[in-house]
Amino acid sequence: MGFEFELKFRTTPETLEKIREAYPGGQVIQMETAYYDTPQGCLSAKKYTLRRRRENGESVCTLKTPGAGPLRGEFETRCEKIEDAIPELCKLSGAGLPTAGLTEVCGAKFTRYAKDVTLPGGTLELAADKGVLTGGGKEQPFWEIEVELKSGSRESVVVFAKALSEKYALEAEERSKFKRALELAKYGRF
């Protein structure tokens, strides 16, 4: 993939359902995510996110690297074990990753309702996620809207996301699911 440009918003269960109703169709994806790091937090220190996610039962391993604002590096490979995915993720991203000592630090389980939306300036994915973040033996529910560029202009995503957030009184969410789940694991809250 190479990069990801997305905007996230916190919402309520009621508003999430209203948005789903306003954009019918699309697909339902059951997701279960495990996030990995070393015991010393080497990946977090570099602002890397390493995960294995089951998407309707299919395993996808992903490395996200830092970027400017809502733009991040995103590299994926289909693999059952995170350790087996490391060589390919390093090749795709150019990043150095540990080949041993990785441990699951937190996770997320959620249902995603995803709909592609075609705009004059490009195509985006509108995702409505509801589920729980997990960490430190705790769970915290969340409801989130994501607007992600699939093709075309970044500006089209920004304009669409702004209009959506104003219409539904959405709150910007600056932290990824990983960061919030990691805070839950470390501090018992996010």
Give the residue-averaged pLDDT of 156-183.
95
Q: Which fold has domain 2-187?
A: Hypothetical Protein Pfu-838710-001 (2.40.320)
**pLDDT tens string 55-74:** 999 999 999 999 877 888 99
Whole-angstrom distance, CA of residue 180 vs CA of residue 154: 25
Sequence ranges of the domains in the chain: 2-187
Whole-angstrom distance, CA of residue 11 vs CA of residue 102: 33
Which residues, 6+ apart, have CB-to-CB distance to 112 below 8 Å? 28, 29, 30, 31, 127, 128, 129
**pLDDT tens string 108-163:** 999 999 999 999 889 999 999 999 999 999 999 999 999 999 999 999 999 999 99
Predicted confidence band at 190 (pLDDT cuts at 50, 70, 90)?
low
